[in-house]
Amino acid sequence: MSGRLPEGWAETTLASICAHRTGSSKLIKGRLHAERRPGRFQAFSASGPDVWSDRWEHEGEAIVVSAVGTRCGKAFKARGQWSAIANTHVVWPDPRAIDLDYLFLHLNDEDFWAKGGSAQPFVKVRETFERPFALPPLPEQRRIVAKVEALLGEVDAAKARLARASLVLRRLRQTVLAAACSGRLTEDLRAPGVAAPSAAALSEALLRSWPAAPGAASDGGSTRGLPASWALCPFGALVDNHDGRRVPVNSTVREGRRGPYPYYGASGVIDSIDGYLFDGDYLLVAEDGANLLSRSTAVAFAASGRFWVNNHAHVVRPKAGVVLGYLELLLNSIDLQHHVTGSAQPKLTQAALNGIPAPLPPTEEQAEIVRRAHALFALASAVEERVTSAAARADRLPQTILARAFSGELVPTEAELARAEGRDYEPAEALLRRVHGAQVGSGASSRAGRASGGRR
């Protein structure tokens, strides 16, 4: 322990005020029960209280610590009748000197422990327990625990609210997409008394120029629910397809061809390359992959400038009168499960993409839809950035709270309260002398403390 201790605190070691031993090597996790039933007792493994035994080895309160593995140093409270199995360590605090819940605040911090090993980390119990340890008076320990638990409860509540906010923002984006491609986002443009242009002429021109099914594709879906000024066309009639220009390049070859141009796949840019196949503004649409159904990222995204595309993304360009940004919104708003084939490897074929019924607003309204949607997305992104920042701060708060608690800054010290209330108090140094009948932190008191811990 470095630095000056708060008034009334004492420097000692956990070895002098705790008993400890390793978990039973005779109890193997794989040989115990995974389910609780009458007559079985809780058993603690390195993962926590996740198995059950036909007998118990300990009774009462203690702290069980994961002793081996990537989460070594994680602690669990044990009460009642229980056992601790291999790869754990059991700690019994001397209740005359240290509160179990106060000790748990220390032991449950994985960074509190000295550790060894790399491939298979383990806690160094003796080294940890023989380090200097700052001990407050017993009543102060209990006040610290109560304050920490209250503050951590507030942190958890705040994190839950932030998680809900993130969910609301994700739903907001989906709502914006749905409103954009159904006409609700631009309802004011079609208010009574407002002269609204029609997409009928644009739709007829696009259908006439579509070689896949000239004049016969207008039944690609129902216009029911769409604004009267909108039309419905197969997606293929709205774009020119450039899939034939795609060239896949495997990762080994790309390693020798790193360059300034983005290399696109089904999920966006996945690499860079020294050449390009396309130059201009295009819309890329995922052709295969689980994301077509899970929608964890956008399935359609704009690509501009010079770039390369492999054979996992369709490449399309909007025809005259069709706004690229609107097509991007449209495809990202559609549930594609009825257009995708395959289950192990979902695929959106070119024919299926072309046949998707596409609501078509007039060109001017398409541009306004894109403008309004992007403004709302920008607002959502700004809020999301603040939520993310707040969540990161919330993640750091527990360590800050504990650091203040263990330095005597979280609650008034017992010495301060005693002066304010005009009473005496027992400093931690006097408490240790009384418990051990020896000097603070002496080697002689260590064994006495262990004996008082009592293994059941």
377 token code pair: 């997305």
**Residue 450 — φ and ψ, nearest 5°?**
-65, -40
Amino acid letter at 98?
Answer: I
pLDDT digit string (tens) for 242-275? 999 999 999 999 999 999 999 999 999 999 999 9
Same domain, 331 and 423: no
Same domain, 150 and 273: no
The pLDDT of 390-413, averaged and rounded, is 96
Query: At which residue do the structure tokens 């309004």 appear?
Result: 372
CA dist., res. 372 & res. 183, Å (int): 12
101 token code pair: 């819940």
For the chain, the average pLDDT equals 91
Q: How far is CA 428 from CA 92, 96, 136, 436, in A?
A: 19, 11, 6, 12
Query: At which residue do the structure tokens 């995204």 appear?
Result: 301
Amino acid letter at 256?
Answer: G
| CB of 215 closer than 8 Å to CB of 208 | yes
| CB of 58 closer than 8 Å to CB of 79 | no
Residue 259 neighbours by CB under 8 Å, 6+ apart = 272, 273, 274, 275
Same domain, 177 and 294: no
pLDDT of residue 52: 96
User: Does the CA dihedral 94-98-101-107 come out positive or negative?
Assistant: negative
Q: How confident is the model at residue 227 (pLDDT cuts 50, 70, 90)?
A: very high
∠ at Cα 434 (433, 435), nearest 5°? 95
pLDDT digit string (tens) for 138-172? 999 999 999 999 999 999 999 999 999 999 999 99
Fill in the DSSP letter of residue 182. T
Q: CATH number of the domain that 311 lies in? A: 3.90.220.20
pTM of the entire predicted model: 0.74
Query: Is a pLDDT exceeding 80 seen at residue 453?
Result: no
Same domain, 237 and 348: yes
**Residue 65 — φ and ψ, nearest 5°?**
-115, 135
| CB of 286 closer than 8 Å to CB of 267 | yes
pLDDT digit string (tens) for 289-323? 999 999 889 999 999 999 999 999 999 999 999 99
- Which of 385, 233, 242 has the alpha carbon at shortest distance from 314? 242
Query: Is a pLDDT exceeding 60 seen at residue 447?
Result: no
Same domain, 407 and 428: no
Same domain, 26 and 126: yes
Residue 158 neighbours by CB under 8 Å, 6+ apart = 390, 394
pLDDT digit string (tens) for 47-60? 999 999 999 999 99
217 token code pair: 């594709």
Whether 280 is in a domain gets the answer: yes
- Segments forming the whole domain that contains residue 239: 201-361
The pLDDT of 382-406, averaged and rounded, is 96
4 token code pair: 């000056």
pLDDT of residue 214: 43
Please tell me the total count of domains within the chain. Answer: 3
pLDDT of residue 212: 66
The pLDDT of 235-247, averaged and rounded, is 97
Same domain, 124 and 213: no
Q: Return left, alpha or beta for 268; rule: phi > 0 is left, psi -120 to 50 is alpha, else beta.
A: left
pLDDT of residue 118: 81
* Largest separation between any pair of C-alpha atoms in the chain: 101
Whether 237 is in a domain gets the answer: yes
CA dist., res. 21 & res. 3, Å (int): 31
Q: How confident is the model at residue 222 (pLDDT cuts 50, 70, 90)?
A: low
CA dist., res. 340 & res. 292, Å (int): 8
The pLDDT of 64-93, averaged and rounded, is 95
Same domain, 83 and 152: no
Fill in the DSSP letter of residue 356. S
Whether 1 is in a domain gets the answer: no
The pLDDT of 123-150, averaged and rounded, is 97
Whether 4 is in a domain gets the answer: no
The pLDDT of 75-95, averaged and rounded, is 96
Whether 2 is in a domain gets the answer: no
Whether 248 is in a domain gets the answer: yes
Same domain, 155 and 129: no
Same domain, 126 and 146: no
| CB of 202 closer than 8 Å to CB of 238 | no
Per DSSP, what are the bridge partners of residue 313?
A: 286
